[in-house]
Structure formats: C-alpha cells, structure tokens
C-alpha cells in the first residue's frame, strides 16, 4: 500500500513557464555523479517497505553497482520532492563559492524558494523529513563514482548530507520560515564539485516544470545526455532498455506496461515544454528500448535582436518564430514601437505578452508614439525609465527583491561574473550595501546601451567593498 510522504505532488510557488535554454547560455551547474546516477527515485509516492534498492550496470564496459539503504521512520528511500531539495542545496553550495568543508549556511525559506516549492507552513515539515532522509540514507557506488581529478572510477560510500543542524522557534522542534540551517554535503560530492566534474543546470526551466516526477526525469535525462568521461560532450539522442531505465529511475514496479504508464506524464510535459522532440518505443516486453530525441537547442541561431527580445522575457522559441514569420526589419520596428508605448506610460500587465502582440498586430490596435531616444546618441540623452515589471519588483519582502534582482542580473551578465562573485553580489543585496531596484535598472540600461563591460567593471569595484565589509 502506497502512502503520501514528503515526496508526494505538492503546490508550486507559482512557477513561470519558461523555455529550455542552450547549454552555452547556462551559468549554473550540478555535480555530474549525483545527476548521472539518479540517487533519488523519480516516483512521487512509494510503498512503505521501500527502504532499499540495488542497481547493477556497466561503466566503460566494467561491472558497477549502486545501492541505497534508508531508514523506515523517515519515509523510505529518497524520492519525489527530495530531488528538488537536493538540487537546491547543491546550487546554494556552489553559489557560496564551493567552500572546502562542504558547508552551506542558509534558511529553510531559502531552500524552498531555490527549489521552486511553496513556502507555506506545511512544506517546512515536508522539508524536514526530506533533510532527515538525505542525512540518514547511505549510498554505496561500487566502481561507479568518477574521480575526475585522477581520471578513474572508484567506490564511494556516503550520506548525501554528512551534517545537519537547524534552529527552531521557541520550544518547537520543527522547521519554520525563520529556521537557520547549517548543512554539510558529503565529502565525495564536495571533492567532485571542486574538481569541476559538473554539468550545466537549467534551474529556471527545471523549477518551472509542474510535477516532481517530471523534474526528476528531466534531471536524469539531462545528465545522461553528457559523456561521463568528458562531461562537456552532449548527445542529441538517447536509447536505453526499458528495464534498465526503470532501474535508473528507481521505479518500484518493473513490468514494462507499468513503467510506460509511470513515465508517460513526464514524457508528455517535457515534449510540451520543448525539451524532448520525441519519445518512441521499439520491441516488446522487457526487451523494449526507449528512444529519446532532444530538441536541438544549441543548433538554434541567436542574434542581437533575439537577445533583446529575450531580455524582455520573450521565450527563445517564440522570439525565433517572430523573426521567421515577420522578418528582422518588421520586428525591429515593432520593438521600438513597444518601447515607445512603455515610455509613454502605457499600462501592461504582462510585458512579454504585450511585446509579442505588438509585433503580430495587423489591426493597428496600438497608437503610434514618438520613438524612444537612444541614450547613447547624445550627451543629454534622457534618463532611463524603469519598466512596470522593474518598478513592481521593488515591492515584496527582501528575499523576493533579492531573488528578482539576481535573476535579472544573471540573465544579462551570464558568465561575466564568476559563481563566487554572484554569491558576493547576493550578500551585498541582502546586507543592503547594494540596492535591488537600482542594480536592476542600471544593468538593464547597460545592456540596452551596449556597455555591459563598463557596468561589470563598476560592479566588481562595488563587490570589493562588500567583501571588505563582510570580512
């Protein structure tokens, strides 16, 4: 009999539908061993007795084994939402600059936010159960753990978390939004990350997926696309035996029809969202092969105009379709009309939807406005007018404002800042040494004026002061 545990489907914190991005555009990454091995079951619910599993496979033609032994009182083997939390913890660790002791200091609220999960009361209880499972479950990867520094396969035994401390309100023993946590990642995971055995992570796309199972299947699929020896090499297709894939996903019922039924929802969502191009099955019964074909994101051409559309939060597929359907000259003209509308005070509930509608409009729904003067055209160019979205971002809690500012800056600057510099930037915003709204406005204006290099130089100077204040 199955029971609902912390890994059961849960309310999302209002994720925005975003398109997957090419690996070259990604600035986040995750540890490749954890991602490839699939330590956490993709199933949202598991049987009460599911407290261990063993998977045997081959790595580079050699036999390998992965085992998991969990504690029954914490809900069995890690599963479902546990994968979202584990990904969030590693992302927070990387953002903190990958300290050598593997320690992450954060809050329960921040973990839920980073995982894209709801931050209402009952989710803190689910989070605590997840953390206990990750702390007490023991994994053994026999000849299956890549030692990237030495270039060989080793055996590693570890708990995902090697240390867990947290504060509670008053006399309570549960987590709450104000709980502060000290978490230490397993030593093999820490060594692997610091040795840069990692793969790109599209965290925005991942957290926008609706179901825990879809997110889990996506994580595993995306990891298996990369060569385990040369993790920078990515393949367009993946074929795997259905039973072997069920083992990789840690699906309990290994009957072929049940496996297909279990995976169907995740496959459909990933195809609908533009990550998978196609999923087909060949053969019958246990001899079936699942064939995955991925959308060729890296083959999609970009351009300065597409980058501008994307800076207004138009998804990549929509931006490319606009250029294909209407041509660059038309899109450029309508983009300027859109900017003039915003500058005139036109009220837009959804900026990206308005832009797309302005480009497609063939009924003259929008009045012609004087063009927006280009700030770099003359010394007396007008000051930058923030968009409605940017003004709105000044409302809300400090956590919300910092998160919104970080997303905007990371999108605009991408690899121009290192992971540790982004971590320092977040610290400066939290401490109030940098202003969220001002940072967002200046970064957006620098992008439009084609002077991001100058902006980055000034920002790095400011971060030096943040570093000195924090030391």
DSSP secondary structure, 20-69, as one string: ---GGG--EEEEHHHHHHT-SBS-SSEETT--EEEEEEEETTEEEEEEEE
- pTM of the entire predicted model: 0.63
Burial class (CB in 10 A: 0-12, 13-18, 19+), 60: exposed
| Closest by CA position to 118, among listed 95, 92, 85 | 85
Q: How far is CA 182 from CA 329, 347, 423, 430, in A?
A: 54, 45, 17, 18
| Helix ranges restricted to H, 315-451 | 316-326, 328-343, 351-360, 388-392, 398-413, 419-431, 436-448
Q: Alpha-carbon distance 86 to 95, whole Å?
A: 14
| Residue 55 and residue 37 in contact, taking contact as beta carbons nearer than 8 Å | no
Q: Is residue 379 part of a domain?
A: no
372-397 mean pLDDT: 42
Q: Alpha-carbon distance 446 to 412, whole Å?
A: 9
What is 123-155 written as a DSSP string? HHHHHHHHHHHHHH-EEEEEEEEEETTTTEEEE
What distance lies between CA 249 and its chain's CA centroid? 20
Q: Out of 151-160, 192-201, 300-309, 392-401, pick the least confident.
A: 392-401
pLDDT band, residue 372 (cuts 50/70/90): low
Q: Are residues 238 and 344 in the same domain?
A: no
Count CB atoms within 10 A of the CB of residue 157: 13
End residue of a domain, out of 247, 262, 294: 294
Q: Is residue 26 part of a domain?
A: yes
| Residue 177 and residue 109 in contact, taking contact as beta carbons nearer than 8 Å | yes
Q: Is residue 123 part of a domain?
A: yes
Length of the chain as a residue count: 471
Q: Is residue 426 part of a domain?
A: yes
Count CB atoms within 10 A of the CB of residue 388: 16
Q: Is residue 22 part of a domain?
A: yes
| Residue 215 and residue 206 in contact, taking contact as beta carbons nearer than 8 Å | yes
Q: Alpha-carbon distance 238 to 231, whole Å?
A: 15
Q: Is residue 377 part of a domain?
A: no
**Bridge partner list, 1:** none
Structure tokens at 459: 């920002």
Q: Is residue 381 part of a domain?
A: no
236-249 mean pLDDT: 95
pLDDT tens digit sequence for 4-48? 333 444 445 444 567 888 887 787 889 999 999 999 999 999 998
pLDDT tens digit sequence for 456-466? 888 988 888 87
Q: Are residues 254 and 340 in the same domain?
A: no
Write down the pLDDT at residue 463. 86
Q: Are residues 278 and 248 in the same domain?
A: yes
**Bridge partner list, 181:** 106, 166
Write down the pLDDT at residue 359. 92
407-430 mean pLDDT: 79
pLDDT tens digit sequence for 272-328? 888 998 999 999 999 999 999 998 775 444 567 877 887 777 766 677 778 777 888
Q: Alpha-carbon distance 193 to 95, whole Å?
A: 12
Backbone angles phi, psi at 336, to 5 degrees: -65, -35
Q: Are residues 311 and 341 in the same domain?
A: yes
Q: Is residue 313 part of a domain?
A: yes
Q: Are residues 332 and 279 in the same domain?
A: no
Q: Are residues 279 and 307 in the same domain?
A: no
pLDDT at 370 over 70: no
End residue of a domain, out of 277, 294, 311: 294
**Furthest CA-CA distance within the chain:** 73
Q: Are residues 324 and 398 in the same domain?
A: no
pLDDT at 395 over 60: no
Q: Are residues 48 and 99 in the same domain?
A: yes
Where is pLDDT greater, at 316 or 135? 135
pLDDT tens digit sequence for 258-278? 999 999 999 999 998 889 989
| Residue 242 and residue 256 in contact, taking contact as beta carbons nearer than 8 Å | yes
Q: Are residues 290 and 309 in the same domain?
A: no
Number of domains in the chain: 3
pLDDT band, residue 430 (cuts 50/70/90): confident
Helical (H) or strand (E) element with 105: strand 103-107
Domain with 193, as residue range(s), is 2-294
Q: How far is CA 196 from CA 91, 146, 191, in A?
A: 14, 12, 9
pLDDT at 467 over 80: no
Q: Are residues 365 and 253 in the same domain?
A: no
End residue of a domain, out of 294, 319, 334: 294
Q: Are residues 8 and 76 in the same domain?
A: yes
Cα Rg of the chain (Å, integer): 24
Residue 251, classed as helix, strand or coil, is: coil
Q: Alpha-carbon distance 287 to 291, whole Å?
A: 13
Q: Are residues 279 and 416 in the same domain?
A: no
How high is the mean pLDDT of the chain?
83
């Amino acid at each position: 009999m199955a029971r609902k545990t912390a890994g059961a489907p849960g309310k999302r914190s209002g994720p925005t539908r975003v398109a997957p991005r090419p690996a070259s555009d990604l600035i986040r990454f995750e540890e490749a061993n954890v991602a490839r091995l699939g330590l956490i079951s993709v199933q949202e619910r598991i049987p009460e007795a599911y407290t261990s599993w063993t998977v045997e496979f081959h790595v580079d033609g050699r036999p390998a084994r992965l085992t998991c032994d969990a504690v029954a009182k914490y809900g069995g083997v890690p599963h479902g939402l546990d994968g979202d939390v584990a990904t969030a913890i590693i992302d927070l660790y990387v953002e903190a600059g990958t300290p050598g002791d593997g320690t992450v200091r954060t809050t329960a609220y921040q973990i839920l936010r980073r995982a894209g999960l709801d931050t209402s009361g009952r989710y803190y209880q689910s989070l605590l159960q997840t953390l206990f499972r990750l702390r007490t479950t023991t994994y053994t990867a026999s000849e299956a753990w890549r030692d990237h520094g030495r270039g060989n396969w080793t055996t590693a035994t570890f708990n995902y978390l090697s240390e867990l401390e947290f504060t509670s309100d008053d006399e309570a023993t549960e987590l709450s939004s104000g709980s502060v946590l000290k978490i230490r990642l397993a030593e093999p995971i820490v060594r692997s990350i610091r040795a840069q055995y990692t793969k790109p992570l599209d965290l925005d796309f991942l957290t926008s997926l609706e179901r825990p199972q879809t997110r889990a299947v996506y994580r595993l699929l995306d990891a298996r696309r990369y060569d385990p020896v040369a993790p920078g090499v990515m393949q367009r297709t993946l074929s795997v035996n259905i039973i072997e894939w069920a083992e990789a996903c840690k699906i309990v019922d290994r009957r072929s029809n049940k496996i297909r039924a279990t995976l169907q929802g995740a496959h459909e969502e990933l195809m609908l969202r533009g990550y998978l191009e196609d999923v087909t099955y060949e053969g019958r019964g246990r001899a079936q092969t699942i064939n995955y074909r991925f959308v060729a994101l890296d083959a999609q051409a970009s351009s300065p105009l597409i980058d501008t559309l994307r800076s207004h939060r138009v998804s990549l597929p929509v931006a490319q379709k606009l250029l294909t359907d209407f041509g660059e000259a038309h899109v450029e003209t309508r983009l300027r009309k859109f900017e003039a509308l915003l500058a005139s005070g036109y009220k837009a509930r959804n900026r990206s939807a308005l832009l797309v509608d302005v480009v497609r409009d063939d009924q003259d729904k929008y009045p012609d406005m004087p063009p927006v003067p280009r700030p770099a055209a003359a010394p007396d160019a007008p000051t930058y007018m923030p968009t409605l979205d940017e003004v709105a971002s000044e409302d809300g809690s400090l956590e919300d404002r910092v998160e919104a500012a970080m997303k905007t800056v990371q999108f605009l600057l991408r690899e121009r800042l290192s992971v540790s510099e982004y971590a320092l930037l977040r610290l400066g915003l939290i401490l109030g040494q940098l202003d969220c709204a001002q940072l967002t406005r200046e970064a957006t204006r620098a992008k439009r004026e084609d002077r991001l290099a100058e902006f980055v130089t000034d920002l790095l100077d400011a971060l030096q002061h943040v570093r000195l204040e924090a030391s």
